[in-house]
Amino acid sequence: METADLLKVLYIVAIVAEAMTAALAAGRREMDWVGVCLLGSVTALGGGSVRDVLLGRHPLSWVQHPEYLLITCGAALATIMVARYMRHLRYVFLFLDAVGLVVFTVIGCNVAMSLDMPVVVVIAAGMITGCVGGVLRDVLCADVPLLFRAELYGTVSIVTGGLYMAGKALDLPHDPLTIGVMAFGLGMRMLALRFGWRMPKFVYTETIH
């Protein structure tokens, strides 16, 4: 299997995993079935959509491939059926969520590179693709986004994108580079979860406004 095909398969796995974890978040808010579908789809497809809107790239992926919308709605609805067993799958989902983070990041970098964007924008595009879906989920649940506090979530995306661009600058061969940086990012996220690694927090208690 070529890396491009692997990325495509992992992309489907990732949007399914994101839609399912978002469906659980919807369930914690007692949303109805339509809300579950919507929150799942926005979470799974929102990062790539925001990236494409900001970069002025049309059509968006789910406009070109409407089956993605059906997949995310189906995954969100399926979650309602299997939710009672998901407690036992906690680690599977944290793992799939981490896979989604690095896959989305690399895909976002590839999209921005195909548009000849400067390197800072490429890394930003990777991070937007990887992280914004979860931000939209949290905003729609009226929460402060987890991204701003979670174990290295945003950091993993930036590091993955940065290493990928460094490898490209060194002209490393595409396929091993792609696999390598995704494995590195995935390992970093799983270790951060295992050992509770976090970025230092900034705590400020004065009021300026």
Which residues, 189 to 208, sit near a copy of itself by CB under 8 A?
Answer: 198-208
Closer residue to a copy of itself in complex, CB, 26/177: 26
In terms of Cβ atoms closer than 10 Å to its own Cβ (0-12, 13-18, 19+), residue 78 is middle
The set of residues, in sequence order, having a beta carbon less than 8 Å from that of 132 and lying 6+ positions away, is 46, 47, 50, 51
Q: How far is the CB of 192 from a copy of itself (least distance, A)?
A: 12
What is the residue type of 122? V
Q: Indicate whether 21 belongs to the interface with a copy of itself (CB under 8 A).
A: yes
Site for a copy of itself, residues 96 to 125, rule: CB under 8 A: 117-121, 124
Site for a copy of itself, residues 78 to 97, rule: CB under 8 A: 80, 83, 86-87, 90, 93-94
Q: How far is the CB of 179 from a copy of itself (least distance, A)?
A: 25
Task: Tell me the C-alpha distance between 69 and 157, whole Å.
Answer: 24
Question: In terms of Cα–Cα distance, which of 87, 68, 84, 80 is closest to 13?
Answer: 68
Looking at 6, 7, 12, 60, which residue binds a copy of itself (CB under 8 A)?
A: 60
Closer residue to a copy of itself in complex, CB, 87/171: 87
Q: How far is the CB of 173 from a copy of itself (least distance, A)?
A: 27
Q: Indicate whether 145 belongs to the interface with a copy of itself (CB under 8 A).
A: yes
In terms of Cβ atoms closer than 10 Å to its own Cβ (0-12, 13-18, 19+), residue 35 is middle
